A and B are shown apart, each in its own frame.
Chain A
Amino acid sequence: MSRMKSEEEYRKTKAFHFFRWLSGEKDPYIGNLEMKPQEEYIGEETSIRDRMRESQTVMDKVYNTKHNRWLLLFRRFYRIMAVIFCILLAGLLLLTVSYLPPTGNASNPDNNEVASRYIESGMQETGAVNIVTGMILTYRAFDTFGETNVLFIATCCVMIMLMVEDAELKKQEVMNDRRFEPKNDAILQGTAMILVPIIFIFGIYIILNGHLSPGGGFSGGATIGAGMILYASAFSFKKTQRFFDEKIYKIAKVSALCVYGLIGIYYYVTGANGIENHIPLGIPGHIVSAGIIFPINICVGIEVACTMYAFYALFRRGGL
């Protein structure tokens, strides 16, 4: 018969702690983790009354179907149309899928032809030495266009949620931000002064050499964005606003996406209809070569750099 440990002794062992943690008797984080208890929200009387009145008008206009026949009709029409639309969409997708070859078939093009085609004739067809960039920006340019759109929409959503429009509030936010900022930190500013130009030049190099060496629009843009964040945190937003304010941000972002879209449309239309496109491929290995890859890389780079910096500025003080 084995010796039993006493209760006191058992409480000191790792197994006791483990099983106590497993059964959830004691939360190890309560009292130890930094957290701030939520304060109770106390609204003003006028705002409460306003909200009640607004909800009443919404109830009357949107949900009161007894006295509003048009609303009732519209709602029925809407439901029926929604069901029809869903069925049509599902049918269309299923119809398209039925044309695809079965999965796992050894003679499928994606199992033998696609990869070897990319590797063997990728350089002649796209003009890019870096096959990965050549693949994602010409054969699969549509995917990359979708990703760029996702970035654009993500910034729009963050702007909708965090942007401060009111002038008075904005001023207050800027003042609050300045209170937290390290003022004239010698180490930070000295480091930033040396590092920021190098980071910018490295990012531009990655973007411009996207078709020759590893990298491309996304990596280079992220590098430039990180450099801008470093610059803004070292020398405050006043310095960055001299070359990158909200107006320039809007122009750069929208025009980059539009240029990408136009080049993409030209490329898809000519490619899908078997028309010869007139973008010269150039000599592989030169800087200005590889047809559409070079301008598209620049567009994606601008887009990503803008997104990164805008995220930081919006998170920090609700405005660029």
Chain B
Amino acid sequence: MVNAMTFFQYILLGFLVVCAISVSFSKKLLNSILIFMSYSLVMSIIWICLESPDLAITEAAVGAGVTSVLFFVTLKKIHAIDESGTKGEKESMIERRRR
């Protein structure tokens, strides 16, 4: 009962490790950005547990908010997020490249 907070922190740290690994192993770039976003969110809660609320505010605003939005905009600009209509064409292009 005394260590309820510590237990909670361990769970959060576990989340952190899982997020960090799955960012690099997820196959879609969109998914990696979403996982990266949740990584920042968990990190900001950990900052609060470590008693530094100013860092938590900054982490939530910059890490979870602005950085991911910039990533999304960049993905849209390089046409990595595409409609499903053009998917067949793209796959055929990748296939051609592999050969």
Output the least CB separation between B37 and chain A (Å).
Answer: 13
**B78 at the A interface (CB under 8 A):** yes
Are A37 and B94 touching (Cβ within 8 A)?
Answer: yes
Main DSSP-derived SS at the B contact region: helix
Are A308 and B66 touching (Cβ within 8 A)?
Answer: yes
**B62 at the A interface (CB under 8 A):** yes
Given known contacts A33-B29, A36-B80, A219 and B66 CB-to-CB distance under 8 angstroms: no
Are A311 and B29 touching (Cβ within 8 A)?
Answer: no
CA distance A31 to B90 in the complex (A): 10
B27 closest partner in A (C-beta): A32
In residues 7-42 of chain A, which contact B (Cβ within 8 Å)?
A: 29-37
In residues 40-99 of chain B, which contact A (Cβ within 8 Å)?
A: 52-54, 57-58, 61-62, 65-66, 69-70, 73-74, 76-80, 82, 90, 93-95, 97-98
Name the one of A29, A37, A223, A229 contacting B93, with C-beta atoms under 8 angstroms: A37
Give the total of A residues in contact with B, Cβ under 8 Å: 30
Are A36 and B69 touching (Cβ within 8 A)?
Answer: no
In residues 7-31 of chain B, which contact A (Cβ within 8 Å)?
A: 27-30
CA distance A136 to B2 in the complex (A): 35
**A243 at the B interface (CB under 8 A):** no
Name the one of A29, A36, A226, A312 contacting B79, with C-beta atoms under 8 angstroms: A36
**A215 at the B interface (CB under 8 A):** yes
Name the one of B30, B61, B77, B97 contacting A223, with C-beta atoms under 8 angstroms: B61
The contact string, 1 if C-beta is below 8 Å from chain B, for chain A 285-320, is: 000000000000000000000001001100110000
CA distance A231 to B28 in the complex (A): 28
Known: A214-B52, A215-B53, A226-B66. 12 other contacts (CB 8 A): A34-B27, A34-B82, A36-B78, A222-B61, A225-B61, A226-B61, A226-B69, A229-B65, A229-B66, A312-B66, A315-B70, A315-B74
The total number of A-B Cβ pairs within 8 Å is 76
Given known contacts A34-B80, A219-B61, A311 and B66 CB-to-CB distance under 8 angstroms: yes
The contact string, 1 if C-beta is below 8 Å from chain B, for chain A 185-203, is: 0000000000000000000
Output the least CB separation between B39 and chain A (Å).
Answer: 17
Name the one of B29, B53, B70 contacting A34, with C-beta atoms under 8 angstroms: B29
Residue from B61, B62, B69, B80 whose CB has the most chain A CB atoms within 10 Å: B61
In residues 220-249 of chain A, which contact B (Cβ within 8 Å)?
A: 220, 222-223, 225-226, 229, 233
Are A36 and B57 touching (Cβ within 8 A)?
Answer: no
A215: chain B residues at CB < 8 Å are 53-54, 57
B29 closest partner in A (C-beta): A34
